[in-house]
Each structure stands twice: as structure tokens, then as C-alpha cells.
Amino acid sequence: MATAAAVILAAGQGSRMKSNLAKVLHPLAGLEMVNHAVRNVRLAQFEEIIVVVGYQGEKVRAVLEGVTVVEQKEQLGTGHAVDQCREVLSSFDGPVLVTYGDTPLFRSETFQALLAYHQEQQAAATIVTACFADPTGYGRILRDENNQVLGVVEHKDATPEQRLISEINTGTYMFQSKLLFHYLAQITPENAQAEYYLPDVLPLMIADGHRVAGFILDDPTESMGINDRIQLAEAEALLRDRICRYWQEQGVTIVDPQSTWIEWDCEIGQDTVIYPGCLIQKGSRIGENCRIGPNCRLSGAVVHSGAVLEYTVVVDRTVGQDERILPFSFLTK
């Protein structure tokens, strides 16, 4: 059995997206939202990955590879969703991450650090927290004078003093598996939505003397959830900046990162220069010392070293070494 497991909740419809497509299937940087979560968990070396599907479950299942898929037939809350994994994890007693298919910005390094912190703290549960300048609407983390987590208070239930707390609950957690399922069996749907809420296990753990820790994110934007098209565009911009920065660190000159969009699963060689207005899509392979742009779109393109492209579209075609493509060309199969 795995030494660490992860549960990714991806059962919701996402009605605020106003789409016929399940929210977690909307693409970001050329990859479905849910697969960003899967990739980040996998890169963090969680061996057992479980994805909980529901709305458009067959479509979500179709884009997933190398994970265990369980179905939440009725959407009865986050606690109920995690409980669908009870059988899969019945023989597992290690740490289990619970995160979401619509929070695609977590870095794999963050999940690795979270796992190490959870084990170091010997906690029953570790809440991933973030500090926001404006925490309105979020559950606040309550700590004692020794900085130990006492619990979480929802914004609507918080006192004026508690609302001044800037540390919030992101909704992502690490649990000890056996304890998680022990307490999930005890929570009830006694709330306005008549749903089983995952955070309801925390006060039960604390009341029984178990340690609940808080892991504060260095970068609060990692916890961003996507609920509508506005947040989708904001997340895309954050990923664009990350990806451009990565390639700059590999020796690629990007003249204007804000107007340059590079998707996942591309390759770009050293000393290549990318001019403003370029879209480099999934599967493109660019060699060294190329000049790409301005205003080029590459999709599944193979561009050999030394090539020069301006105002050009290349789709599933190869550009030869040192080849210069005439401006306003459209190369496709």
C-alpha cells in the first residue's frame, strides 16, 4: 500500500461557470483543471490518488489516467464525498491529502512540504491555511497563546474580534486516514444545506485530544478556487506567469511575458527568443536559437534549431533547421 494517499474532490457541477461542461473539465494552459490537481499531487509523490467524480462523471473519468476513480452518486457535501473513499482506503493508515479539482494552482513542492510538516507535527489533521489582506467570507483559524490550532470559525459565526483574524481555512487538509474515517462516521447533516461537511471532523478530533495543526502557505494565491469565468481567467494569468518564468530560468528570452502564452507539455531550447503576441500550445517542441514571433501560434509544432517564424501559424507540422518561414504563413496538415 502507498505511504501517502490523496483524494481529489471533483464531483460538483460548478453552476456559476454557466457552462454545459463540468467545471473541472475547463482547460487551463492546455490541461483540464482536474488534471492540474492530479499532476501536482503526482509530482509530490503521493502514490495512491483517488478522484471523486459525480456530475458528468463519465466525461471526467475519460480524461483521467493512473488514478482510482470513485463516484459520489448524490452530492451531499464534502464529508460525504470523502467518505466514498472509505472502502478504497480501508487498509491504509497513513497520511491522506484532501484537495479539490477546482483548486489547480497548488505547487507540488507545497504538497511535499505539507506532508513533511504534518508528519513532523504528529497531527491527526493539518489544515492548509493562508493569510489574506481581506479575509471576508472565509473561515478563520483560531489559535491559542502557544500558536496551537483551537479550531475554525466560519465568517458568519465569527465575533467582531475573530473577524480581524487574517489567517483563513483554504479547505485543503492532510489527515491520518484511520482517524479521518472514524470521525467522518460521526458527523451529521444538521445545517442549512443538509450536507455532511468535512471540516466538522475537526472539533470532534480536538475534543478527543487529537492534535490539529495549521500549515500556512507562503503564496496565498496557490489556494485559489475557481468558481466562474472571471476566476478562470485570473488562474490562467497566474499560470502564464509561472510558465514564462520557468522558461526564462531555462535560458529562453521572452520579450513580453504578459502577452506570451505557453501551455503545459511544451519544450523550448536555450537561446530561443519569443517575441510579443505568441501562443505556444500543448505538444509544441522548439529547438535552440529560434526566433518565434511576433504574433505566432504553434500547436503540436516541431520547430528545429535556428528557425525563424513571424506572424505564422503552425499546427502539427515540422519546421526545418535554420528554415525561415514567410510572414503570414499558415502551415497545417
Q: Which of 172, 180, 18 is nearest to 102 (CA)?
A: 172
Give residue-wise pLDDT tens across range 200-227: 999 999 999 999 999 999 999 999 999 9
Q: Which of 16, 163, 245, 324 is catalytic?
A: 16
Give yes or no for residue 193 having a pLDDT over 80.
no
Give residue-wise pLDDT tens across range 252-264: 999 999 999 999 9
- Categorise residue 80: left if φ over 0, alpha if ψ from -120 to 50, beta otherwise: alpha
Give yes or no for residue 140 having a pLDDT over 90.
yes
Give residue-wise pLDDT tens across range 76-102: 999 999 999 999 999 999 999 999 999
User: Which domains can be identified in the chain, with CATH numbers?
Assistant: 5-223 (3.90.550.10), 251-332 (2.160.10.10)
What's the mean per-residue pLDDT of the chain?
95
Give yes or no for residue 1 having a pLDDT over 60.
no
Residue 194 is predicted with a pLDDT of 83
Concerning whether 211 is annotated as a catalytic residue, the answer is no
Q: Which three cell numbers stand for residue 77?
A: 457535501
Residue 208 is predicted with a pLDDT of 96
Residue 75 is predicted with a pLDDT of 87
Give yes or no for residue 120 having a pLDDT over 60.
yes
Is residue 319 within 8 Å of residue 308, measured between CB atoms?
A: no
- H or E element at residue 98: strand 95-100
Terminal CA-CA length for the chain: 46
Give yes or no for residue 190 having a pLDDT over 90.
no
Please state the pTM of the whole predicted model. 0.94
- H or E element at residue 290: none
Give yes or no for residue 154 having a pLDDT over 90.
no
Give residue-wise pLDDT tens across range 160-173: 999 999 999 999 99
Task: Place 2 in a pLDDT band, splitting at 50, 70 and 90.
Answer: low
What's the burial of 203, exposed, middle or buried (CB within 10 Å: 0-12/13-18/19+)?
Answer: middle
